[in-house]
């Protein structure tokens, strides 16, 4: 299926800001909303952006309220892009009731990461690319200015290219393919469902936060048992933050946890696809955007290059 990429935004275009998962406070979005304005765009707030509903987790409204907001943002012809306020948990509640009737006529960029991986997998299944990048809410570890600037570059039609230093766990090689993935826990949660990514001949990106090492191993093992590593052409590993028992060992607070990388590296050692560790995307300070659904070329050697092409 040929992927559809939204048209570039123009100054004064409207960007919907919605909360499809966890609850958020107004103060947490002030900086992000002001940034949208400073770039010449108009943020339009979803009706339930700041709604709170507690049901074993603090959601941004009931499932019905959150579904209403995302369907409004997807289908309103005056909206040119959709930016999630945050992740958390709750996007899985929405996918059965998403409506793309208006969206299909007027595709727009969807921006988010973490739990938003569910929405991005859904959109890709329907043939639409999206941006795996920083949400409007800035987390406790902050966000670099460049991370946001690169997202606005994508919105305005500019190309994306990354050049990185090597990592001790990297596996050399070159490959080309469509980029899929996002948060590992959600990729794992979607396995076996009709909303799971298609991994055949793809380049897979994964990142995560706050998982015990045994849980990380369980998710990687599930991908292996599902045959994912026999299907993909390359693997990119981003942030692995606060992994293991961070209460007992401060080293696990690093954005690129070395033991998590070693665990993943050991599990995929029998495969020969090129692999990159330490990519600057995930629950980290330097969270640079990726385009899910884009054709990319990956070269891993003494240095790493990732080039995006439609």
218 has a pLDDT exceeding 70 = yes
Any bridge partners for residue 171, and if so which?
275
Whose structure tokens read 């994306």? 160
Greatest pairwise CA separation for the chain in angstroms: 52
The band of 251, judged by pLDDT with boundaries at 50, 70 and 90, is very low
Q: What would the mean pLDDT of 80-96 be, rounded to a whole number?
A: 98
Angle between helices 258-267 and 213-225 (to 10 degrees): 20
Phi-psi region of 4 (alpha: psi -120 to 50; beta: other; left: phi over 0): beta
The yes-or-no verdict on residue 70 having pLDDT over 70 is yes
Phi/psi of residue 4, each to 5°? -105, 125
Q: Report the pLDDT value the prediction gives residue 255, as an integer from 0 to 100.
A: 82
Q: What is the pTM of this model?
A: 0.96
- What average pLDDT score do residues 238-261 get? 76
| Predicted local confidence at residue 252, as pLDDT | 43
- Is the pLDDT score of 58 beyond 50? yes
pLDDT recorded at residue 254: 61
Cα(268)–Cα(245) distance, rounded to whole angstroms?
Answer: 23
Look at residue 141 in the predicted model and tell me its pLDDT: 74
Q: CA–CA separation, 178 vs 134, rounded Å?
A: 21
Where do the structural domains in the chain lie, given as residue ranges?
14-155, 161-309
Task: Quick: pLDDT tens for 143-178.
Answer: 899 999 999 999 999 999 999 999 999 999 999 999
Q: Are 39 and 150 in contact (CB under 8 A)?
A: no
How is residue 7 written in tokens? 């048209």
SS3 at position 111: strand
Average pLDDT over residues 110-126: 98
Query: CATH number of the domain at 14-155, out of 3.40.50.10740, 3.40.640.10, 3.90.650.10, 3.30.360.10?
Result: 3.40.50.10740
In the predicted structure, residue 225 carries a pLDDT above the cut 50: yes
How many helices (H) and strands (E) in the chain? Answer: 9, 15
Q: Are 202 and 232 in contact (CB under 8 A)?
A: yes
Nearest Cα to 147, choosing from 283, 302, 49?
A: 283
Summarised one tens digit per residue, pLDDT across range 178-216 is 999 999 999 999 999 999 999 999 999 999 999 999 999
**Alpha helices per DSSP H over the chain:** 30-38, 63-75, 101-105, 117-125, 145-155, 184-190, 213-225, 228-231, 258-267
Region 19-36: what's the mean pLDDT? 97
Q: Measured between alpha carbons, how far apart are the two ends of the chain, in Å?
A: 13
Residue 157, classified by CB atoms within 10 Å of its CB into exposed (0-12), middle (13-18) or buried (19+), is exposed
**Percentage of the chain modeled with pLDDT above 90:** 92
The radius of gyration of the chain from alpha carbons, rounded to an integer in Å, stands at 18
Spatial distance between the Cα atoms of 182 and 118, rounded to a whole number of angstroms: 9
| Whether residue 246 has pLDDT greater than 60 | no
Reported as a pLDDT band with limits 50, 70 and 90, residue 59 is: very high
pLDDT reported for residue 310: 72
Residue 116 has pLDDT above 70, yes or no: yes
Q: Is pLDDT at 248 greater than 60 in this prediction?
A: no
Fold of the domain built from segment(s) 161-309: Glucose Oxidase; domain 1 (3.50.30)
């Amino acid at each position: 299926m040929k992927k559809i990429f939204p048209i570039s935004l123009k100054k004064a275009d409207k960007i919907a800001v919605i909360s499809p998962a966890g609850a958020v406070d107004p103060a947490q979005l002030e900086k992000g909303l002001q940034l949208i304005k400073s770039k010449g765009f108009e943020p339009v707030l979803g009706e339930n952006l700041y709604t709170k509903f507690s049901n074993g987790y603090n959601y941004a409204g009931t499932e019905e309220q959150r579904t209403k907001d995302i369907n409004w943002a997807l289908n309103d012809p005056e909206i040119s892009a959709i930016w999630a306020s945050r992740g958390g948990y709750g996007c899985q509640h929405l996918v059965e009731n998403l409506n793309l009737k208006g969206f299909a006529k007027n595709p727009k960029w969807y921006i988010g990461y973490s739990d938003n991986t569910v929405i991005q997998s859904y959109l890709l299944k329907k043939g639409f690319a999206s941006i795996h990048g920083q949400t409007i809410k800035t987390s406790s570890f902050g966000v670099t200015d460049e991370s946001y600037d690169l997202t606005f570059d994508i919105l305005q039609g500019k190309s994306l290219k990354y050049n990185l230093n090597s990592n001790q766990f990297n596996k050399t090689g070159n490959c080309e393919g469509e980029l899929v993935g996002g948060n590992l826990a959600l990729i794992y949660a979607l396995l076996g469902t009709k909303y799971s990514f298609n991994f055949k001949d793809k380049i897979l990106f994964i990142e995560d936060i706050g998982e015990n090492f045994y849980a990380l191993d369980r998710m990687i093992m599930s991908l292996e048992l599902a045959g994912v590593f026999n299907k993909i052409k390359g693997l990119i590993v981003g942030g692995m933050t606060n992994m293991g028992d961070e209460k007992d060992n401060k080293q696990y607070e690093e954005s690129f946890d070395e033991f998590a990388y070693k665990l993943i590296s050991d599990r995929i050692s029998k495969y020969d696809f090129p692999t990159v560790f330490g990519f600057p995307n995930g629950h980290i300070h330097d969270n640079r955007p990726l385009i899910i659904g884009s054709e990319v070329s990956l070269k891993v050697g003494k240095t790493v290059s990732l080039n995006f092409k439609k």
